[in-house]
């Protein structure tokens, strides 16, 4: 990880399996950022079957340009770590942390070229997961991830999960 490489699949898969075996996971889990590759997804489906989980996939669709604008507009305080957005959550004084007065910085991973490279890697490595899960017959829930309020997105996802029988229908 320190060298910027991915943790080996075997280790990640083992950690996920151990975690999913914990008592607090019995009623279900939400995984974000795993699996990242088709081989990880193949292992995950086996783990899910062993633990009697009924998996489903939620795919938040967000325009790449919007992602670049949002992430490249982030600023961080190098002292306290507070994050700002120059558009949606700017500091009171431009470029200065509200909490300690430090000059805000743009993190290396928030540079536009780095963001675009990450998006390209997503398309090459992670995007095939959607095809894999679809071919595996998993319920696929796709919704816009940036054009609605978070509460609307959550309501859409919950309704779709209920319709797919993956979570209990909310009490009326």
For the stretch 67-117, pLDDT in tens is: 899 899 999 999 999 999 999 999 999 999 999 999 999 998 899 999 998
* Average pLDDT across the chain, whole number: 90
HEC string for 74-132: EEECCCCCCEEECCCECCCECCECCCCCCECECCHHHCHHHHHHHHHHHHHHHCHHHHH
| 40 occurs within a structural domain | yes
| 96 occurs within a structural domain | no
| 85 occurs within a structural domain | no
DSSP 37: S
| 66 occurs within a structural domain | no
| 164 occurs within a structural domain | no
| 107 occurs within a structural domain | no
| 142 occurs within a structural domain | no
| 101 occurs within a structural domain | no
pLDDT tens column, 20-51: 999 999 988 999 889 988 999 999 999 999 99
Question: Is the model's pTM score more than 0.85?
Answer: no
CB-based contact 104:97 (threshold 8 Å): yes
Which structural domain range is residue 46 located in? Answer: 1-55
Residue 127 has pLDDT above 90, yes or no: no
* Number of structural domains found in the chain: 1
């Amino acid at each position: 990880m320190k060298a910027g490489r991915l943790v080996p699949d075997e280790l990640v898969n083992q950690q996920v399996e151990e975690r999913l075996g914990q008592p607090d996971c019995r009623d279900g889990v939400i995984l974000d950022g795993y699996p990242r590759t088709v081989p990880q997804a193949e292992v995950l489906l086996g783990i899910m079957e062993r633990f009697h989980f009924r998996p489903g996939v939620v795919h938040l669709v967000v325009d790449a340009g919007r992602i670049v604008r949002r992430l490249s507009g982030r600023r961080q305080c190098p002292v306290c770590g507070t994050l700002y957005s120059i558009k949606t959550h700017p500091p009171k004084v431009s470029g200065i942390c509200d909490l300690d007065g430090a000059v805000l910085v743009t993190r290396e991973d928030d540079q536009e070229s780095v963001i675009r490279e990450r998006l390209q890697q997503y398309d090459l490595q992670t995007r095939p997961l959607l095809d894999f899960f679809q071919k595996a017959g998993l319920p696929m829930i796709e919704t816009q991830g940036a054009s609605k309020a978070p509460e609307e997105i959550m309501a859409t996802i919950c309704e779709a999960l209920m319709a797919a029988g993956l979570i209990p229908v909310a009490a009326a």
